[in-house]
């Protein structure tokens, strides 16, 4: 079964997502890293800024482009104890989107609050 993380030290990780899904592999790679990393019992948050907010857009339908609709996996993150999903309010607004357009519950942060969020982290991974 799952082994205990041998290091024993819990660190705070934030995954920062700045790219739209499907056009490049960044978004999928980020999500897979989060899911695999979740087995190590670390404190994990995700932050969506710039085009990264499109990753959480609801009603994605990828059948016609013959890609996997991995956006559905964002709804499974809770089961992996990844419960902190932050979205930058300005990035949504600039793109004509609001919280209602997103497929999961998120916490909105202002652009000016992003630094404070990052200052609380031990490790920053950017995709």
Pick one of 20, 73, 89, 97: the residue that binds another protein (CB under 8 A): 73
> From the CB of residue 31, how many other CB atoms can be counted at a distance below 10 Å?
23
Distance between the two ends of the chain, CA-based, in angstroms? 30
Structural contact between residues 17 and 24, judged by C-beta atoms closer than 8 angstroms: no
Binding mask 18-57 for another protein (x = CB under 8 A): x-------x-----x--xx-xx---------xx-------
Work out whether 122 is an interface residue with another protein (CB under 8 A).
Answer: yes
- Of residues 81-110, which lie at the interface with another protein (CB under 8 A)? none
| Alpha carbon distances (Å) from 47 to 6, 9, 19, 25 | 27, 23, 11, 17
The contact set with another protein (CB under 8 A) reads 1-2, 16, 18, 26, 32, 35-36, 38-39, 49-50, 68-70, 72-73, 75-76, 79-80, 111, 114-115, 118-124, 126-127
């Amino acid at each position: 079964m799952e082994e205990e993380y041998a290091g024993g030290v819990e660190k705070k990780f934030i995954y920062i997502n700045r790219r739209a899904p499907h056009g490049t592999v960044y978004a999928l790679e980020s999500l897979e890293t989060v899911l695999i990393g979740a087995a190590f019992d670390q404190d994990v948050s995700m932050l969506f800024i710039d085009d990264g907010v499109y990753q959480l857009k609801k009603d994605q339908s990828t059948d016609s482009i013959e890609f996997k609709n991995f956006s559905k996996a964002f709804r499974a993150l809770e089961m992996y104890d990844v419960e902190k999903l932050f979205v930058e309010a300005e990035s949504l607004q600039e793109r004509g989107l609001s919280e209602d357009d997103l497929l999961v519950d998120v916490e909105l942060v202002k652009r000016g609050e992003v630094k404070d969020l990052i200052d609380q982290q031990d490790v920053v991974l950017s995709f």
